[in-house]
Amino acid sequence: MMFCAALYACLLAAPPTYAADVAPIVSRACCECHRDGGVAPFALASPQDLIKRARTIARAVRDDSMPPWFAVVAEGSAHRFKNDASLSAADKATLLAWLDSDERALGDLSKAPPPRPVAPAWRISTPDVVFEIPAPVEIKAKGTMNYVNVRVPTNFTEDVWVREWEVVPSAREAVHHVLVFARPPEAKGRGAGEDEGRGFFAAFVPGGGMRSYDSTRAKKLPKGSTLIFQLHYTPNGQATQDRTKIGLVLAKTAPEHEVRTVGIFDSALDIPPHTATHREMSSLTAPADIRILSWMPHMHTRGKSFVAYRKRDGAREVLIDVPRYDFNWQLSYDYATPLEVSKGTLIHIEGVFDNSAENSANPDPSKRVRWGQQTTDEMLIGYIDYELAHEIAREK
């Protein structure tokens, strides 16, 4: 990569400058999180912000750890993602040429993009309704914490259509992720939660945590539903409290298309100890002609890679490929064009797990690992947002 950066710099008419070349990339690719009030630990609002962290930033650019994006798209594939946060080869080369240079030329700073404004309280439109966990959760200063599950009734007396949602923890610095499940009143037992990959409604991860559907789509929240907040905290040296909330923007009328969510899951997974590469699989039969809008893979700390595919004319067609799964960044991957899937098609998922001592995130390589809610357990779920291809929701 050093050679690539040097070569790219040589091809430029002049070395890159902060104002003309670097700042536009940083503003576009980094500052949604790295700004005042953002979820990142520091802002990148000035050249000085980059210069004092030049070595760290260059390392993150080289190893593709920042910006966080882990899906790869095969050359020629039609399955691309509209929220792809990865840097192009040219952007990476520009950043590295500037960060690695001795000069780090500033250029005409008056022409640089202005700093992003302070992150707003809500990134979605002003919510019509907000549901907050009723009491603060005490987060200890050190150690690990079990998942916390909190139920919050909605008390809706009729079905509502959700056009936008956002999950907002009050102690974002200590929140690893939040999953929110919607449990309708008729749901029995525990099948409406993450135990079986069902009922998934919304999520928070650093840099994510919101969804705005277009004017033709919305998600239905049945009357009388209970929201189940599953909260995963990571103590960071300072005891604090958290009261996570979710804001909902409601559609005034039923949409053309109802967005539904289903999890393809493998609750029978069984991972042997001291195994660097263990593969688990599951599948789902499309119940009708559907259009898949997005994927959200979910595994725990032993998760190594995730892929979903279907077979067409005997050939395997990859739908999403995440070769470097990272439990710390449980991202949603949104198709630029919804993926058409015919009724009866088998949608396969495959997860690879690393239960060896070589996996630095592995809590115990000597343990045989099965399905469970704690981080020390494992899961394999592929959540998909989809719509029925021939349904008009507003006709209901």
pLDDT digits (tens, 9 = 90+) for 244-261: 999 999 999 999 999 999
Q: Is the pLDDT at 386 greater than 70, yes or no? A: yes
Confidence (pLDDT) at 12: 52
Domain regions of the chain by residue span: 2-111, 129-254, 260-395
Could you tell me the maximum CA-CA distance found in the chain, to the nearest angstrom? 67
Q: Residue 192 — very low, low, confident or very high, per pLDDT cuts 50/70/90?
A: very low
Write down the H helix ranges in 286-382: none
pLDDT at position 193, please?
A: 47
Q: What pLDDT is recorded for position 373?
A: 82
Give the pLDDT of residue 191: 42
pTM over 0.75: yes
Lowest mean pLDDT among 38-42, 250-254, 348-352: 38-42
247 within 8 A of 129, measured Cβ to Cβ: yes
Q: Which of 141-150, 196-205, 286-295, 384-393 has the lowest mean pLDDT?
A: 196-205
Question: For residue 183, what pLDDT band results from cuts at 50, 70 and 90?
Answer: very high
As a whole-number percent, the residues of the chain with pLDDT over 70 amount to: 92
Which residue has better confidence, 134 or 198?
Answer: 134
CA-closest candidate to residue 61, choices 95, 17, 102, 21? 95
Sign, CA dihedral 362-364-368-371, equals: negative
pLDDT range class, residue 325, cuts 50, 70, 90:
very high
Provide mean pLDDT across the span 366-381: 93
Q: Is the pLDDT of residue 5 over 70?
A: no
Output b/e per residue, 312-349; b: 16+ Cβ within 10 A: eeeeeeebbbbeebbbebbbbbbbeebbebeeebebbb
27: phi then psi, degrees, rounded to nearest 5: -60, -40
Round to whole Å and give the CA distance between 44 and 64. Answer: 18
pLDDT tier at 98, thresholds 50, 70, 90: very high
Taking only the tens place, the pLDDT of each residue in 159-178 is 999 999 999 999 988 998 99
pLDDT at 144 over 90: no
Q: What is the pLDDT of residues 193-221, one digit of tens each?
A: 445 457 899 999 876 799 999 999 999 99
A 10 A CB-CB count for 359 gives: 16
Separation between Cα atoms, residue 12 and residue 5, nearest integer Å: 11
Report the topology of domain 129-254.
Jelly Rolls (2.60.120)
- Over 70: is that where the pLDDT of 8 sits? no
Tell which CATH architecture fits domain 260-395.
Sandwich (2.60)
pLDDT above 90: percentage of residues in the chain: 79
Q: Picking from 37-46, 128-137, 215-224, which range would have the lowest pLDDT averaged per residue?
A: 37-46
Q: What is the pLDDT of residues 281-318, one digit of tens each?
A: 999 999 999 999 999 999 999 999 999 999 988 899 99
Please tell me the predicted confidence (pLDDT) of residue 149: 94
Q: Are strands 226-233 and 175-183 parallel, antiparallel or unpaired?
A: antiparallel
- 129-254 and 260-395 have identical folds: yes
Res. 235: pLDDT tops 70: yes
**Higher local confidence (pLDDT), 46 or 191:** 46
Q: What pLDDT, on the 0 to 100 scale, is given for residue 241?
A: 97
**Average pLDDT of the residues in 331-349:** 96
What is the pLDDT averaged over residues 333-359? 98
Check residue 392 and give its pLDDT: 63
Q: How confident is the model at residue 352 (pLDDT cuts 50, 70, 90)?
A: very high
User: How much is the pLDDT for 13?
Assistant: 55
Mean pLDDT value of segment 100-120:
93
* 8 contact partners, CB below 8 Å, separation of at least 6: 90, 93, 94, 97
- Contact between 331 and 322 under an 8 Å Cβ cutoff? The reply is no
pLDDT band at 41 (very low <50, low <70, confident <90, very high): confident
- The structure tokens 């399905």 sit at 371
Q: From CA 165, how far away is CA 126, in angstroms rounded?
A: 10
